[in-house]
Structure 1
Amino acid sequence: MSDAIAEWKSFIPASLVENNLSCDTVNIYGTPRRLAVLITGLPLQQEDCQEEVKGPNVKVAFKDGQPTKAAEGFAKKQGVELDDLVIRTTGKGEFVFVDKVIIGRMVADVLVELVPRWIFNLEGERFMRWGDGDLRFSRPIRWLLALVDDQVLPMALVNGSKIVNSDRISHGHRVLHPKSITIIKASDYVEALRHAHVIVDIEERKALITKQIQTAVAKINGHTEIYADLLAEVTNLVEYPSTVIGNFEKDFLQLPVDVITKIMVSHQRYFPVFRGYNDLELLPNFITISNGDPNKSDIIATGNERIIRARLADGRFFYETDLRNSLDSFLPKLANVTFQKDLGSVLDKSRRISKIAALISKHLHLGKDDSYNICRAALLCKADLVSQMVNEFPELQGIMGEKYALASREPELVAKAIFEHYLPRSADDVLPQTLTGQVVGLADRLDNLVSIFSLGIIPTGSSDPFALRRAANAVINISWAGNLAVNLHQLLLQISTDFVEVHDIDKYKLIKSLEDFFLQRIRTLLQDEKQIDYDLVNTILGENNPEYTARALQDLLDIRYRAIFLQEMRQKGTLDQIYEIINRSVKLAAQGELEVNHLDPEDVIDTELFQKPSEVAFYEDILRMRPQVQAVLESHNYQQLVIALTKIAPTVNNFLDGPESVLVLDPDPVIKQNRLNLLGILRNYSLLIGDFRMIVKNF
């Protein structure tokens, strides 16, 4: 229902505009039994509009000044006289036109055509046929209420032998008001349904449910978290909500809190009750949202208690059975679970994750204890998938792995990483906090990316069945959040090399596609999540610049830092102070032969060739910048380099335009190259921050 409402909110206003209809408001309502739109401020009739209709070429329409059959046919088709034809010049010559006034139709007549389109243009995965017709909808259509003010809009939905005619009849709540109701005029709709115990406004129902839950938990001195997804789901399941407080035996509280809450929330759509705010201790109660008679809440509670008791009993059986074995004893069973038909079992994947985790640990120069915990967690991270609990409740993967690891006396960091390696599970989820969890999470996702890409399954458009975009985003975000100095290029090279030893694929093609994919994700994350201006992202990533893209993949922390640094420079105005002089230097230096990675001025500049003091001053300032350049190379300290670039700006201006300016492109090629090398060294220093040619002035 929520999808249908979202579609109508977009589609119906656009449809009205397309049909030259203005209105004040378009309100979309929905319950499990009805979908409604209430439009206010519609006129009685469309406004008249003018339309220019293009006809044949003048040479075809007229011969010797007389209209041809082509002109006569065009006039007849448009319902005008030959005298009404006008000649206008276009880019393709002279053509015959007709200026027509389209008389606005009565709105009721237009709506008769539009309403069926609104209904049957809805899309959904589970639409069904009903009756003996071909019409598809999410449910069989039982009635059609269609009013324009106080008049029934005459129309019918025909589905084979089934015909649903429009009327002013609607139906109230199944239990609280089972009789049909008559809607006198359209504006009465919301209140008329309310009197029939149906609240059609979703937001109103949601607010009412929230208030009722808060009142209910207060009665039992508890607290509950109102999960957004659960609230949305139960709101769409009821027409007139009422809360019911249920109970279960205290013995079940010996189960892990996560097990109880998952059973309640995911399977029963109950709200668990905690002892207090920020308290993970559960009370033996739950809140459920009923669509029945509030006066029979005791009977409703009893039925729900019977169900939750059975579900919790199952959970306790699975939990106790799983605890009879150590977590690592589950590993052999992973051989019977297929990861992907061409990539082997989950046990094969676990071994790959463990190998990649060891590679990352070595890559990050981690100590013996950290490396052990990481490799152990990587090996065990999927073991709980074959436990009875996770087999019954897949949402508990990782959560149960952590608990079973602790019960098996695995190190606490190993247990935590088994849970954390799944983080983030969604765009708004938290990231892993421990180093062990971060590295195992990276290893798992890098294995997904390399192995799935090796099959040629690369996300295109909205298609991403293996969530590879999310996996790549997680690799980048985990590295950034954990300040992990990840050389993604080296990792992808080594992982791909190991992978192709087993699978016959083109390693370099695989690496190229992976690196291109990661660069796209880096660009997107910098712009969307870090709010970096697009031109500054281009400045640090370059545009078709292999050296810059390679630099980005070799140091994810540096790419993030430089992006944020440039954005702050723009906000403070510092970027404007150095932009002009650097950009000009870059353009001139391009006419020289100095390589962009050359940073030592003494190797390429001959002081004996200097002819003016401005050259000497430029060179001396360049020499004074070498400590700042070294600081960038050793510790990514860009701030001091920017200060030095700011200070050298007047010197460079004097070199190029001042009283002591030089002719950079001197007729003597040796002097010319010497001066271009001065500018080239300055350009190369600035390239340590970014390619200033990509910056948009006055952004």
Structure 2
Amino acid sequence: MSTTNILFEIGLEEMPARFLSDAEVQLKQKTQHWLTSIRLPYESVKTYVTPRRLAVVIEGLANKQLDQEEEAKGPAKKIAVDEEGNWSKAAIGFSKGQGKSVDDIYFKEVNGTSYAFVNKYIQGASAEVLLINFKDVIMDLTFPKNMRWAGKTMRFVRPIRWLVALNQSNIIPFEIGGVSTSNSTYGHRFLGEQVTIKDPLMYEELLATQYVIADSNERKERISDQIKQLEQEKGWHIPMDSDLLEEVTQLVEYPTVFYGTFNDKFLTIPDEALITSMKEHQRYFPVLSDNEELLPYFVAVRNGDNRSIEVVAKGNEKVLKARLSDAMFFFEEDQKHSIEQYNAKLSRIVYQEKLGTIADKVQRVRALTDKITTLLDVDQTTKQNALRAAEISKFDLVTNMVNEFTKLQGIMGEKYARLFGENEQVAKAINEHYMPRSANDALPQSTEGAAVSIADKLDTIIGCISVGIIPSGSQDPYALRRQAIGVLQILQQTGWDVTVEKLIDVTKELYQTLEIEKSSEDNIDEEINSFFYARASYILREATSEQDIIEAVLANGIGNISFAYKKAALLTDKRHDTSFKDTQEALVRVLNLAKKGTNSGVDATLLQNAQEQKLYDNFQAIKVKYQEQIRAYEATQSLETLSQFTPFIHDFFDHTMVMTDDEQLKNNRLSLLNEIAALINQFADLSKIEWKQQLNA
């Protein structure tokens, strides 16, 4: 089959950089799906995206659809043929509707009933006819925000200025929003010009002559290479923040890296504020020395070549000077007030309508920090530092610097706390209590910071759920999921001797003392428990545990999350360990049979045979040691202790009828199994694990 090459390009006013990556992914996926749906085979689909264009090149596209044979199902045989064996009107109508005659009908049984069928041959249409409909793919693209322009009714990300649609050198005719397709494209807004495309495969090369690097990966690589070259020439270290690199890549069509300088007096501003000002407002890369000290330089990316680059640098220096002057003003002004004055302002800022002001939240966080540090039994100095950090944890929210750069919350709190004379542990904890700020962010390193962080996050989670704010789908305005995961990650890292349930309980106890309008108490408990269970399942799954093992470990609550990690990892290994098979079978048999009765207490005088007595004696001997190991969160040791039951359980079942007709004996034996099952369940509900499939694999 002969093939052809296709180009589609949508020329636009500049699109927001943050839209481009997703738009390119969409364009490729939707194009591939469309080609598959219309049965047009192809060799490859290559997409391009710049601020002013979205384009796709389809290479090796078949010139016509694949021919298709289709089996059409008609009426049942009893309807298609009358009692005399003649074709019915239904059969005649069915065959005509398929472009066939009754001579083409055959019968085939489906689910015990015979139906009429005909085979249809559908000749493939030419690509030339089908390609006109690519405009449907374009209109199916979605963006976070669309707009209308020039009185038009259609909505799109930005006004469409030109359209290219080529089948080899032939124009594919269609129109969108009053713009008709052609074979003309436009280069760089200032350096390029209008050019004619004669071959879709020359698209990328042709644009390069017009100062447009169409491939975003190539633009990113050019920026990275130029920055690395600048590092070598100047002896600098220029950290390439991945988000910033992605943004500047999508802001330009022809990237040229340059650098500028600023007055070193601005280095008195905290590094984080300087860097944030450069990145957030100007999309500049900061420059560091070999020992990671900030230098009075910046690196930027121009949308164009290097002509008059010195003039461009000077212009950027002027703009940055104004930005840094603002930052210095904010920094100096913020130091004219005290922490207490800032804290007083928090009472005028609503945190959430039903949960009060930020000042109210701070009071709750302090109270929870008190409860948590008491649970942890920390020393008095640590406790007082944590309480002070909780008390002033939000004061920087009303500073000029954080008002201008919201990402600096906590960071500026730490800086200002030091300047205002707070001790190092308190200052550090103010910043740490926001951690982790994102999925891969660092966790608090100090006990004070970890305690306040957990208190703050639990207050947010329990508070929001209590007043009916529950995440659903993609809606999670208070980031409750991320905050719950943060709590679990901190607990896993610290290994504190405290359960998730206990922390939830002390938070709920605090909320019971507050005069807030809450949802139904039963619903609150159910929502909180299921919410944390889902988050615990998520982070255990991220640690490569399989779902059945997660369910086994969490069957009786989350408990100590660090211990849950250890148990999940150990059971993942054991499910593939054939030497554990005897133990697994013994323990699971106990769990399954124990469910048939209750624990009414074991009467030792009713133990009838030696195997029954040995199992009971072994239970008494093992129980204390095992529970000590569980309390010490010793996963390996406690499972090894459980394994000691193995021969005694097998002997017991080989020589003892549990479900005997004697009710007293049956209940006594079920009580013994229930007591052993209770020990096993302290580790995990092993009956939830799909052992057999793994061991036989």
1:502 matched to 2:518? The reply is: no
1:237 and 2:251 correspond? yes
1:144 is matched with which residue: 132, 153, 163?
163
- The letter of the residue matching 2:225 is K
1:621 aligns with 2:618: yes
Match of 1:334 among 329, 334, 346: 346
Match of 2:604 in 1: 606
**Contact persistence 2:342–2:396 (CA under 8 A):** yes
Change (3 A) 1:489 1:638: closer
Of 15, 18, 22, which residue of structure 2 is paired with 1:3? Answer: 22
Query: In structure 2, how many angstroms separate the alpha carbons of the residues matched to 1:680 and 1:496?
Result: 32
Q: Does 1:374 align with 2:386?
A: yes
Instruction: Identify the match of residue 455 of structure 1 among 467, 470, 485.
Output: 467
Contact 2:435 2:442 in 1 (8 A): yes
Q: Identity over aligned residues, as a percent?
A: 35
Measure how far apart 1:62 and its partner are: 4.6
State the partner residue of 2:131: 111
Q: Report the residue type matching 2:549 in the other structure.
A: L
SS of 2:683's equivalent?
Answer: coil
Asked if 1:359 corresponds to 2:356, the answer is no
**Pairwise CA distance, 1:141:** 1.5
Partner of 1:167: 182
- Alignment of 1:197 with 2:194, yes or no, is no
8 A contact 1:275–1:282 mirrored in 2: yes
684, 687, 691: which one aligns with 2:685: 691
Choose from 57, 70, 80 the match for 2:100. 80
CA distance in 2, matches of 1:156, 1:138: 19
1:435 aligned residue: 447
| Partner of residue 7, structure 2 | none
The match for 1:220 among 234, 257, 266 is 234
Structure 1 CA distance, aligned partners of 2:642 and 2:551?
21
The amino acid of 2:181's aligned partner reads: S
Note if 1:524 corresponds to 2:538. yes
* Secondary structure in structure 2 of the residue aligned to 1:471: helix
The correspondence for 1:682, drawn from 669, 676, 686, is 676
After superposition, where does 1:484-633 map in structure 2 within 5 Å? Answer: 484-500=496-512, 501-505=514-518, 506-528=520-542, 530-542=543-555, 548-549=556-557, 552-553=558-559, 555-570=560-575, 573=578, 575-594=580-599, 604-606=602-604, 609-611=607-609, 613-633=610-630
Shift of 1:671: 4.0
Partner of 1:156: 174
Say whether the 8 Å CA contact 1:7–1:122 is kept in structure 2. yes
SS at match of 1:236: helix
Change (3 A) 1:680 1:158: closer
Instruction: Report the CA distance shift for 1:207/1:669 in structure 2 as closer, same or farther (over 3 A).
Output: same
> Structure 1's 690 and 574: CA in aligned 2 closer, same or farther, altered over 3 A?
farther
| CA distance, structure 1, for counterparts of residue 25 and residue 89 of structure 2 | 51
In structure 1, how many angstroms separate the alpha carbons of the residues matched to 2:181 and 2:671? Answer: 83
Residue 561 of structure 1: how far off its partner (Å): 3.1
SS of the counterpart of 1:52?
strand
Contact map agreement 2:549 2:571 (CA 8 A) in 1: yes
The AA in structure 1 aligned to 2:523 is K
Conserved in 2, the CA contact under 8 Å of 1:108 and 1:153?
no
1:126 aligns with 2:139: no
Give the secondary-structure state (helix, strand or coil) at the position aligned to 2:307. Answer: helix
Secondary structure of 1:136's aligned partner: coil
Q: CA deviation at 1:405?
A: 0.5
Give 1:52's match in structure 2, choosing from 71, 81, 99. 71
Letter in 1 for 2:196: T
Amino acid at match of 2:547: Y
Give, in angstroms, the shift of residue 57 of structure 1.
4.2
Q: What aligned pairs does 1:243-258 form with structure 2 within 5 A after superposition?
A: 243-258=257-272
Contact 2:259 2:297 in 1 (8 A): yes
Work out the CA distance in 2 between the residues paired with 1:656 and 1:145. Answer: 79
Contact conserved, 1:335 with 1:345, CA < 8 A, in 2?
Answer: yes
| Alignment check: 8 A CA contact 1:566 1:575 kept | no
Q: CA deviation at 1:625?
A: 1.9
Q: Is the 8 A contact 2:173 2:180 kept in 1?
A: yes
Take 2:507 and 2:624, find their aligned partners in 1: how far apart are those partners? 37
Matched, 1:293 2:311: no
The one-letter code matched in structure 1 to 2:233 is K
Match of 2:225 among 211, 226, 247: 211
Q: 1:233 to 1:135 in 2, by over 3 A?
A: same
Deviates most, 517-526 or 644-653: 644-653
Q: 1:426 corresponds to which residue?
A: 438
Q: How many Å apart are 1:359 and its aligned residue?
A: 1.8
For residues 647-662 of structure 1, what are the structure 2 equivalents within 5 Å? 647-657=644-654, 661-662=655-656
Q: Verify the 8 A CA contact 1:488 1:556 in the aligned structure 2.
A: yes
Residue in 1 aligned with 2:274? 260
Q: How big is each residue's C-alpha offset from its partner over 1:647-695, in whole Å with a ceiling of 9 and x where there is no partner?
A: 44234333333xxx33344444444444444444433332221111111
Distance in 1 (CA, whole Å) between partners of 2:461 and 2:67 is 58
2:626 maps to amino acid: V
Paired with 1:57 and 1:132, the residues of 2 have a C-alpha distance of 56
* Structure 1: segments with no counterpart, 5+ residues: 543-547, 596-602
Match of 1:31 in 2: 50
CA shift digits 1:62-116 (9 cap, x unpaired): 5454444444443333222232233333338444333211111112322221x21
Deviations 1:384-437 (CA, angstroms, capped at 9, x unpaired): 111111111212111111111000001111111111111111111111111111
Q: Which residue of 1 aligns with 2:287?
A: 273
Structure 1 residue 230, shift from structure 2 partner: 0.3
Further displaced range: 626-635 or 377-386 = 626-635
Question: Separation in 1 of the partners of 2:223 and 2:381?
Answer: 50
Give the superposed CA RMSD: 2.3
- CA distance in structure 2 between the aligned counterparts of 1:605 and 1:210, rounded to whole angstroms: 77
Q: Retained in 1: the 8 A contact 2:436–2:486?
A: yes
- 1:315-362 CA-partner distances (Å, limit 9, x unpaired): 000100111122232011112222123322211222221122112122
Q: How far apart, CA to CA, are the structure 1 residues paired with 2:229 and 2:682?
A: 60
For 1:255, the aligned partner's letter is I
RCO (CA 8 Å, sep 6+): is it higher in 1 or 2? 2
| TM-score, scaled relative to structure 2 | 0.91
SS in 1 for 2:64: coil
Alpha-carbon distance between aligned partners in 2 of 1:472 and 1:652, rounded to the nearest angstrom: 41
Residue 607 of structure 2 contacts residue 613 of structure 2 at CA under 8 Å; is this kept in 1?
no
Q: 1:87 and 1:153, CA in 2 relative to 1: closer, same or farther beyond 3 A?
A: farther
**Mapped partners of 1:512, 1:425: distance in 2:** 27
Counterpart position of 1:600: none
How far apart are residue 627 of structure 1 and its match?
A: 4.4
- Cα-to-partner distance string for 1:634-658 (whole Å, 9 max, x where unaligned): 423343343344344234333333x
- Corresponding residue number in structure 2 for 1:89: 109
The answer for the alignment partner of 2:119 in structure 1 is 99
Q: Read off the aligned partner of 1:252 and give its amino acid letter.
A: F
Query: Hey, what's the Cα distance between the residues in 1 that align with 2:34 and 2:90?
Result: 35
Cα offsets for 1:179-230 (capped at 9, x unmatched): 2222221111111112222111111111110010111233322111000000
- Cα distance 1:214–1:367, how it changes in 2: closer, same or farther (>3 A)? same
